[in-house]
Homo-oligomer: A and B are copies of this chain.
């Protein structure tokens, strides 16, 4: 993987990321397909028309169901989902610590029970790499411990040290896989920074993992319940210590405003379930702010959800129709708003890129950061 930093503007970075399956313009938003499916019923081929550059899938979920061996035999995630663009896989670390039951963490790895059927599973850095290799992803995440926001300082210090040791094991296992298969050599490993909201631990950990000279780096363990203030404090502490010549990924963030504000702090990559999760609850992102599709004022409104939007939903259907679909409990409602919201997020990062290109990111931020995340 090659990263080319093209330009900076008021803290924002504009770049290009080259992976085997294509060139990705940064900053960008990864469209979440946890179990190799976009929630809300959007297909992977349709993501092309929604401006999606990269799909994000989940190691933990796909290992449990259908099993990474099956995905491998079906042509990897690309063949399975029918998506020929780049794929990033999350390591499963976050899910092991948020979803799985009866966890036991040792230096070796984690013993846990599947949240689906209770099956006992052991996951360690090597296993996570092998699974992601089977899934065929272009960018892979290191297997880390994602500690709860409430973790004490002492525990956090020990945890990030182990996460660093695990990261070295991830890199070694990926090297081993690459030596056995030329195809694996194209996989780009992202190291993940942890440390809760302790700035000094975050900074120390970031410096440690930066020395490994990995293809990319991520900030994990944020947007897990801490205040926005804490989140941006950590980003501001960590981002300047992330290698300048590598892509920087802020995991699981966030609202349109969060994305704009994080780009302003030097972040290049994002992912979030909000576009599709909120869609199922009739929450619509638009250029004038957030609206609720079930609002009574849309009963006889034949304009599109967003007057300035060119998505397949806005080109074809009215607010009145979409409100009716939600009221009638029609599955189509969630699908139409999901594709609109995904288009909005992909377009948001495109607008950010364009603003940086012409040196007007500051103006863009001032005009949009607050507005786009307000309910109107």
Residue numbers of A with Cβ under 8 A of B are: 35-43, 45, 61, 65-66, 70, 73-75, 79-82, 299-300, 302, 316-318, 320-321, 323-325, 327-328, 330-332, 334-336
Contacts and interface: CB of A to CB of B under 8 A. Distances in A.
A324 B38 contact: no
B334 A331 contact: yes
A247 B165 CA distance: 76
A75 B302 contact: yes
Given A82-B316, A324-B36, A327-B66, A332 B41 contact: yes
A70 B300 contact: yes
A80 B79 CA distance: 37
A335 B333 CA distance: 12
A238 B40 CA distance: 45
Nearest to A82: B316
A82 B312 CA distance: 12
9 contacts: A37-B332, A43-B317, A66-B299, A66-B320, A66-B323, A66-B324, A80-B324, A331-B334, A331-B335
Contacts of A299: 66, 70
A324 B37 CA distance: 10
Given A80-B320, A321-B80, A37 B328 contact: yes
Nearest to A37: B330
A318 B43 CA distance: 13
Contacts of A61: 328
Contact of A74 (B35, B43, B302): B302
B331 A40 contact: yes
A371 B79 CA distance: 32
Contacts of A318: 74, 80
Given A37-B332, A38-B332, A75-B302, A70 B320 contact: yes
A74 B320 CA distance: 8
Given A37-B332, A66-B299, A80-B324, 10 more contacts: A35-B328, A39-B330, A39-B331, A43-B316, A65-B324, A70-B299, A74-B300, A74-B302, A74-B318, A82-B316
Given A66-B299, A81-B321, A321-B36, A42 B332 contact: yes
Contacts of A328: 35, 37, 61, 65-66
Contacts of A325: 37
A279 to B, nearest CB: 11
Contacts of A324: 35-36, 65-66, 70, 80
A327 B323 CA distance: 30
A74 B321 contact: yes
Nearest to A313: B43
Contact of A82 (B41, B81, B317): B317
Contacts of A81: 321
Contacts of A330: 35, 37, 39, 41
A81 B324 CA distance: 11
A316 B81 CA distance: 9
Contacts of A316: 43, 45, 82
A65 B65 CA distance: 39
A362 to B, nearest CB: 40
A81 B316 CA distance: 9
A5 to B, nearest CB: 37
A149 to B, nearest CB: 28
Task: Output the residue of A36, A39, A334 with the most chain B CB within 10 A.
Answer: A36
